[in-house]
Amino acid sequence: MRLTTLEDVLHDDASGLFRDQALAKLRTAEQHLRAQLRMPQIPAEHAALQRCVTACASAAQVIDTLWRRYHGFA
């Protein structure tokens, strides 16, 4: 049973094209966020940026894990 549209898309993505595109977008976003973290930030902004970096990494892990599970690579 799949609960979200993302799960449906990953399930139907036998070639891995959607997965690869989503992971590339997340990597790009994470790199941009890390670049911002290297610049001076007020503590609250630094913490928010760090949470966004963590969110990108977590989302990438979820996408990869689900895709592998749906396509027999788990």
Structure tokens at 63: 């996408």
pLDDT at 1: 80
Structure tokens at 2: 């799949």
How many whole angstroms separate alpha carbon 66 and alpha carbon 63? 5
pLDDT at 42: 98
Total structural domains in the chain? 1
Assigned domain for 59 exists: yes
Assigned domain for 8 exists: no
Residues spanned by the domain of 59: 16-70
Structure tokens at 67: 């895709």
Assigned domain for 1 exists: no
Assigned domain for 10 exists: no
CA 36 to chain CA mean position, Å: 18
- Listed as ranges, residues in the chain with pLDDT below 50 are none
Assigned domain for 4 exists: no
pLDDT digits (tens, 9 = 90+) for 6-21: 999 999 999 999 999 9
